[in-house]
Structure 1
Amino acid sequence: MRILNICAYTWSIGGPPKIIYDHTKVAIARGHQVDILSPMSPGDEIYPVPEGARVIPCLRNPPVSNYFKEFSVELYRYLKQHIHEYDIIHCHGIWHFGSVAPFLIDRTVPKVITIHGLLDRWTYRVGYWKKQLMSFVLQKRLVERADLVQINNTDEEQDLLRYLGHRHPNTVIIPNGIPLQDFAVLPPKGSFRQQYGIPADKKMVLFMSRLNRKKGLDLLLPAFHRYTRDYTDAVLVLAGPDDGYQAATNAYIADHGLQDRIIRVGMITGDTKKAALADANIFVLPSYSEGFSMAVLETMAAGLPALLSDRVGFGEVIRQRKAACLVELNTDSVYAGLKELLHNDAYREQVRQNALNLVREQYDIEVVAGRLLDEYDKILRR
């Protein structure tokens, strides 16, 4: 198969590039061709590209792209010229130009859409009127025309039903996956702490995601501040790029004198990220909305116990398997979760082991990516 993914394939965009990367490695190993069409702005850093795959960067065109996300004349021209060279066009996300252009250009090449959590109630409220207008004009009809809509979980299934007002005839629930072998061996303990001056006698609480309010930072910061007033045994590490909430985070840290208790390290990748997972005592993500959190999967695969909301994309499975400390979306609950995980060694080990077992059984990328390739094949045989 010749597969074209359309996504802003950059470090700053969050989880979708990592998902595409992992799926692409499996697809290429099984003999398929994969290209990635990526709208870019000057200064954007392209995410790593698997050997054998190709990224086609296309320049965004402001000011239009400021209002119609990812608008790119180059992207449109590429599709116009090359769309019939592919067997499958896979659009990642909605509300952006790359999820619209293939439908405007062609009706014959099969098209797949992955929602990536963008119909969640919390996310849908952001830019509500613009999304309502776009839905009325185009987006809803184009989603209905998709040959397949991939969703990650039953929550997304309900989000799609609510959005369309009826069931889409071609949907499949396929979760995100992770290459388990990447986390089988972690760097030696202590290397991350040494790099960032984190004392060995302090428990390390790791937040590893974009600095965005939807990630629950407005809950985590006051909860951790309260923890520091009661206990002196922990530091919070914030690892992630700014996505609209860095100024508020910096102001909170300064206003509450937390400079020695909260350490900001920016975005971390590769061995540095693995070293952080090896050195942390717990991971935290009290998120309001996630399509299917890759950070949580990586954390579980690394054997690090986690404190999470149930909005991370597979909360119901986590609850059933007792694979994390699940908290409600309020400061008191996050504070109570911090205390429970940091002070109860037996509970922390139980959560850790349950999470490892869950990831090994259900989220190995070889299995997950194989299911998606099978769905592509079913489309082509219709």
Structure 2
Amino acid sequence: MRILHIIHSIDPRSGGPSHALRGLVQEQVRRGHQVSILTTNAQSAEPWMPDDQFRERMNNDPAFSGAELFIARGYGRTRPVARFTWTPQAYRWLRRRLADLDARPDIVHIHGVFSHLTTFAPRLARRFGVPYIMRPAGTFAPRCMALGRTAMKRWFTTLFVAKDLRLAAAVQATTPAEKDELREQFGLNNVVVIPHGVAGVKDAQTDAPAARRALNIPERAKVLLYLSRLTPKKRPDWVIQAASKLLSEYPDLFTIFAGPDAGAESQLAAAIASSGLNGQVKRFGFVTGDQKRQLFEAADVLVLPSQSENFGVVVVEAMAHRLPVVVTPGVASHIYVDASGCGLTVEDSVDALTDGIKKILQADKTELGQRGREYVRQHLTWIVVSEKISEVYAAIIRNQRTRRRNRSVNQQIRLTTK
């Protein structure tokens, strides 16, 4: 199967969508599909690295090994233009690819909306008769729409996106809640629920003491982990407020923040300065690979109090690493925390967050961790998720071919009856 993925940015600092694409591409390549990716050189966090360095890093990313990657030049770095990233080079590349009968993809999978690339892609796909899937990635959740330039988002949706969604072969929602939102807002009957996945669950036991030594974290401390972009909607300052409330009962409490700044670092710094935690906070920037694994192993609980989170891949990653989780209802992947019993979904307040963290610190971490890991093994690895996506692709391609045959037969009938 020839698959073309289209996404505004593959900068790993951009969070869930680009991270999920990496796992999906790896599994699709492993299954023997011909996978291509069209993206732009837009970066998702400051400071931007030099363009040639960014391209080299992306082209050498092991996640894209075996796939074709084309990084088109985009224009516009300051907001809100950076979000749109005008890219005529990507338009020309896609038009040539779709016109080439020998290289044309069987299916186009579009990740995200509100960019130049993801706006012209569905139109070109329709022009050349190639079926496409759109994944809005939670963009139309009411809380997400209310953040930032709401009027501009609504205008853009009415003018462009709504039609593209309705004419898509399928629209991918990552949770049942997102499916309900899309059906309610756009009247769609083509929505399929396919969650994000994570890499295969390994049987190796975690080594918390070794991880803490490597990260220079006290071995006897109770460790809270926030691992996500530092953006206001994720409310990292709530984690500090909760830790401060718990300090009298847990004097050895240690809090870790890992993730790039996306507008909340100054707010977090102020919260830390006024918290009285006295050096019991450690900051990491963007993390990946062994360092990310060590953070999961070193922590006692992952805390993510987001106001709005389309999925929350880090929650499932924590579950895969046997780490209990405390989240708020705005984190869509809370449904997996609840289903597995690996942690708590608490009410949307600092007091409730504090109480939830306390309950998890008092619980059996091994038992909670095993529940989460087993749930991920059965339902949320990329092997399982990719199989679901392949089934959707195959059904769409079959329907497309059937419609073409029917059109051909109807044309022949009309010709013979003239």
- Structure 1 length normalisation: TM-score? 0.92
Aligned residue in 2 for 1:6: 6
1:52 aligns with 2:66: yes
Aligned residue in 2 for 1:31: 32
Task: Please show how residues 160-175 of structure 1 align to structure 2 within 5 Å.
Answer: 160-164=182-186, 166=187, 168-175=188-195
CA deviation string 1:259-311 (max 9, x = no partner): 51211011111011111111111111122222222111111011111111233
SS in 2 for 1:104: helix
Match of 1:288 among 298, 304, 307: 307
Aligned residue in 2 for 1:194: 213
Task: Please show how residues 268-307 of structure 1 align to structure 2 within 5 Å.
Answer: 268-307=287-326
- What is the CA–CA distance in structure 2 between the aligned matches of 1:172 and 1:321, rounded to whole Å? 22
CA deviation string 1:48-76 (max 9, x = no partner): 43321122112221169733523222222
- What is the CA–CA distance in structure 2 between the aligned matches of 1:185 and 1:142, rounded to whole Å? 45
Match of 1:333 among 341, 344, 352: 352
Q: What CA RMSD, in Å, does the superposition of the two structures yield over aligned residues?
A: 2.0
Percent identity at matched positions? 27
Match of 2:373 among 341, 356, 360: 356
- What is the CA–CA distance in structure 2 between the aligned matches of 1:51 and 1:139, rounded to whole Å? 32
Match of 1:66 among 76, 80, 84: 80
Moved over 4 A (4+): none
Instruction: Read off the aligned partner of 2:167 and give its amino acid letter.
Output: R
- What is the CA–CA distance in structure 2 between the aligned matches of 1:219 and 1:275, rounded to whole Å? 24
Instruction: Read off the aligned partner of 1:76 and give its amino acid letter.
Output: Y
Contact kept, 8 Å, 2:41 with 2:72, in 1: the verdict is yes
Structure 1, gaps ≥5 residues long: none
Aligned residue in 1 for 2:330: 311
Number of residue pairs the alignment of both structures matches: 377
Contact kept, 8 Å, 2:321 with 2:369, in 1: the verdict is no
- What is the CA–CA distance in structure 2 between the aligned matches of 1:118 and 1:218, rounded to whole Å? 24
Cα distance, 1:37–1:184 mapped onto 2, change above 3 Å? farther
- What is the CA–CA distance in structure 2 between the aligned matches of 1:306 and 1:317, rounded to whole Å? 10
Give the stretch that moved more between structures: 111-120 or 215-224. 215-224
Instruction: Read off the aligned partner of 1:146 and give its amino acid letter.
Output: A
* TM-superposed deviation, 1:321: 3.4
- What is the CA–CA distance in structure 1 between the aligned matches of 2:241 and 2:97, rounded to whole Å? 51
Instruction: Read off the aligned partner of 1:154 and give its amino acid letter.
Output: P
SS in 1 for 2:293: helix
Give the stretch that moved more between structures: 349-358 or 51-60. 349-358
Contact kept, 8 Å, 1:9 with 1:36, in 2: the verdict is no
Contact kept, 8 Å, 1:206 with 1:237, in 2: the verdict is yes
Aligned residue in 1 for 2:412: none
* TM-superposed deviation, 1:88: 1.3
- Structure 2 length normalisation: TM-score? 0.85
* TM-superposed deviation, 1:192: 3.5
Instruction: Read off the aligned partner of 1:12 and give its amino acid letter.
Output: R
* TM-superposed deviation, 1:366: 0.9
* TM-superposed deviation, 1:23: 1.4
* TM-superposed deviation, 1:186: 6.1
Instruction: Read off the aligned partner of 1:15 and give its amino acid letter.
Output: G
* TM-superposed deviation, 1:312: 2.4
Give the stretch that moved more between structures: 66-75 or 195-204. 66-75
- What is the CA–CA distance in structure 1 between the aligned matches of 2:269 and 2:111, rounded to whole Å? 32
Larger radius of gyration: 2
Aligned residue in 1 for 2:275: 256
